Amino acid sequence: MERQSRLWGPVLGFGLVSLATDMVSDGARPLGGPLLAQLGASALFVGLVTGAAEAASQGLRLLFGPWADRTGKYWAFTMTGYALTAVCVPLLAVTPLAGSAGLALAAALIIGDRVGKAVRSPAKTVLLAAAATAVGRGRGFGVHKSLDLVGALLGPLLVSAVLVATGSLPAAFAVLVIPAAAALAILVSLRRRVSDPGVDTPASDAGRAGSPAADPGRPPVFAGAFALFAVAAFFWSAGLVAFGVISYHLTAAVAVPVPVVPLLYAGAMGAAALAALASGVLYDRAGAAVLLGLPVLIAAVPILALAPGAGAAVAGVLVWGAATGVQDSTVKALVADLVPQPRQGTAYGVFAAFEGAGALVGGALYGWLYGARPLLIAAVAALQVAALALLLVTLRKVRRGSAEHGPARAPA
């Protein structure tokens, strides 16, 4: 029992850091637009700032992932990224006091929060992959994502309660200093107990699953199974609709009251947490074949979530949540198993870029075909067939690599 507690300690620690940090980021995100508007921003300015923030969150991982790999200082990037969020978000409380500079300051802080996400995400995921090895990467990523989603729920509830009590946007941002401080305190404690990967990681864990990427004689990161997996991620991301489109449909076409939409989103996050845990356990027991269900889930989303009836639409929201949970947890476990540890930061940055590009294409696709639901369903189905085919080839390559490089467990 004591040994299990010791093994799970770092995984749970990273999960609690994510929980507290997501309370900060996800608590502030719904209020960014109203704050900018209160400071005098136009709708165009709000769109540019929020768009630039999300672009920075995804695109800059291509810079910071390889940088973390080159230096090996994963903890430095992790702590810097979390510190940026912990500082930038609560400081939004003072922007109304900054006079004419308040709007520019708010824009910089909103973007700074998402830059922090880009700085920390590849490096933190490498640390988590190393910590989760002892308990099973599928389970480790699943538990971490579940805690992360708890924070995504609690943050909006916290700021909503403060707004109801005070009616003050600055007060709502200021209260987020509490989870921000908690995240940094837990992170400092973890830093004392967990080393950078490679310092005390057994050489045998440099690449798992007998994948071709684990062979140092092969070209790193962009070769073999990982490259196919990244392209598959582009296709499934292009088919996974953003919740904004679903919420638009719920209010405009299904006549769901606006106050009910956050409750449905909360239900989706619950489904995501359960799916992350379940797929993580199955990944560790049966291998990466569990990911073959992801394109199937995504293909079902437009059929259900954009249906004219409330019952089907609500079911679609839950399926959307389940797909999101698998995508954000168990998928990352396979990335860690396909790429040797010294290149995992680069791999997570590249992988995020493929997912981000797919999401951009998907947003345009859903916007273009929203009024032609049969065509939209067919387009998403075609994208998921492509994703499924690439996943099958990826798993075949992994099995072949396992046969060639030894008896390590093939994740398929």
The pLDDT value given to residue 106: 93
Q: Is 360 exposed, middle or buried (0-12, 13-18, 19+ CB in 10 A)?
A: middle
**CATH number listed for the domain at residues 212-405:** 1.20.1250.20
Across the range 154-182, mean pLDDT stands at 90
The pLDDT value given to residue 326: 92
Q: How far apart are CA 227 and CA 233, in angstroms?
A: 10
- Of 353, 313, 342, 305, the C-alpha closest to 59 is 353
CB under 8 Å, gap of 24 or more: what pairs does 312-319 form?
313/246, 313/249, 313/250, 313/254, 313/256, 314/264, 314/267, 316/246, 317/246, 317/250, 317/264, 317/265, 317/267, 317/268, 318/267, 318/268, 318/271, 319/271
Across the range 348-367, mean pLDDT stands at 84
The pLDDT value given to residue 217: 42
Most confident of 156-170, 325-339, 382-396: 382-396
State the helix-helix crossing angle for 243-252 and 344-369, rounded to 10 degrees.
30
* Per-residue exposure over 241-277, b if at least 16 CB sit within 10 Å of its own CB, e if not: bebebbbbbbeeebebeeeebeebbbebbbbbbbbbb
The pLDDT value given to residue 12: 93
The pLDDT value given to residue 62: 87
More reliable by pLDDT, 241 or 82: 82
Q: Say if residues 386 and 234 touch (Cβ distance below 8 Å).
A: no
Q: Report residue 105 as tokens.
A: 């300051």
The pLDDT value given to residue 409: 42
Q: How far apart are CA 226 and CA 205, in angstroms?
A: 17
More reliable by pLDDT, 282 or 216: 282
Residue matched to tokens 């672009």: 55
More reliable by pLDDT, 357 or 184: 184
- Of 133, 117, 95, 99, the C-alpha closest to 26 is 117
The pLDDT value given to residue 411: 46
pLDDT over 70 (residue 80) = yes
Across the range 249-262, mean pLDDT stands at 78
Domain 2-197 adopts which CATH fold? Growth Hormone; Chain: A; (1.20.1250)
| Cα 162 to Cα 106, 149, 176, distances in angstroms | 20, 21, 10
Report the chain's mean pLDDT, rounded to a whole number: 85
The pLDDT value given to residue 221: 54
The pLDDT value given to residue 47: 66
386 pLDDT tier (thresholds 50, 70, 90): very high
The pLDDT value given to residue 201: 45
Q: Say if residues 277 and 328 touch (Cβ distance below 8 Å).
A: no
Q: Say if residues 239 and 364 touch (Cβ distance below 8 Å).
A: no
Q: Say if residues 327 and 236 touch (Cβ distance below 8 Å).
A: yes
The pLDDT value given to residue 155: 86
pLDDT over 60 (residue 268) = yes
The pLDDT value given to residue 112: 94
Residue ranges per structural domain of the chain: 2-197, 212-405
- Of 230, 237, 222, 282, the C-alpha closest to 391 is 230
Per-residue pLDDT of 194-250, as tens digits, reads 888 865 544 444 444 434 334 444 445 566 789 999 999 999 988 887 776 787 788
Q: How far apart are CA 119 and CA 56, in angstroms?
A: 10
Q: Report residue 21 as tokens.
A: 């940090």
Across the range 77-83, mean pLDDT stands at 97
The pLDDT value given to residue 71: 92
Rounded to 5°, the CA angle 130-111-51 comes to 100
Percentage of the chain beyond pLDDT 70 is: 88
Across the range 364-384, mean pLDDT stands at 90
Residue matched to tokens 């695109």: 59
Q: Report residue 369 as tokens.
A: 């075909």
Residue 206 three-state SS: coil
Most confident of 258-272, 332-346, 384-398: 384-398
Q: Is 134 exposed, middle or buried (0-12, 13-18, 19+ CB in 10 A)?
A: middle
- Asked if the domains 2-197 and 212-405 are classified in one and the same CATH topology, the answer is yes
Per-residue pLDDT of 288-306, as tens digits, reads 899 999 999 999 999 999 9
Per-residue pLDDT of 6-65, as tens digits, reads 788 899 999 999 999 999 988 887 778 788 888 988 867 876 787 678 778 888 888 999
Number of other residues whose CB lies within 10 A of the CB of residue 165:
11
- Of 348, 346, 366, the C-alpha closest to 356 is 348
Name the pTM for this structure.
0.75
Residue matched to tokens 């997570």: 348
Q: How far apart are CA 219 and CA 76, in angstroms?
A: 27
The pLDDT value given to residue 391: 95
Q: How far apart are CA 88 and CA 84, in angstroms?
A: 6
Most confident of 53-62, 257-266, 397-406: 53-62
Number of other residues whose CB lies within 10 A of the CB of residue 72:
16
More reliable by pLDDT, 339 or 83: 83
The pLDDT value given to residue 358: 86
Q: Report residue 266 as tokens.
A: 């909360």
The pLDDT value given to residue 412: 41
Give kind and range of the element (H or E) at residue 291. none
